[in-house]
Amino acid sequence: MNQKGIAPLIIAAIVVVVAVVVVGAGVYVVRQGGGAGGVTSASSLDIKVDATYQGQTQTTRYRVKNINTSNDKYRIDGYSAGQIVYTWIVNATDQTIYYKSGSTGEWENYSDNFQQYFQSYKQFFQGYQMNLSGWAGGDYNFTVGDVQVRIYDIVVNPDLPDSLFQQS
């Protein structure tokens, strides 16, 4: 496998592991009767997530526009030591997906695998949205198994420009 395919696959594997944890936790919160909250009816959302496992923390920022429509858009930035190390842009309107590694700075087109990536990121985000269904302000923390999750800097219905969801 060439280098282009390795980094996104590693990141996708991390996303899948954390997604299983987060979606599972979301089901737990819903079963516990989480409130209606503004997050579940939001049309856009901007959140940061720290997932800590065995002393290692993965920080991710999600900015999502047009939630629960057929033209939702996602920008996912992964951080290490405060610097962006990768960015995914997922756009359901034109069914495109672009990935940029902080090391190369070049955008790579993954649109041929749109459905695979789109469904993964949409489900992952919906897990966070479910977890926040009872959120009333401040940080939101929970633990699932050995993973500690902190959702913070939560902004409901921010004005997210379309340019945020384009390669720049």
pLDDT digits (tens, 9 = 90+) for 129-167: 888 988 889 999 999 899 999 999 999 999 999 999 999
From the list 80, 84, 64, the residue with the least C-alpha distance to 72 is 64
pTM: 0.77
pLDDT at 45 over 80: yes
**What are the boundaries of each domain within the chain?**
3-165
Distance in angstroms between the alpha carbons of the first and the last residue of the chain: 27
pLDDT at position 105 is 84
63-84 pLDDT per residue, tens: 999 998 999 999 999 998 888 9
Kindly list the distances between the CA atom of residue 136 and the CA atoms of 25, 27, 42, 89, 103, in Å, as whole numbers in the listed order: 18, 18, 14, 29, 38
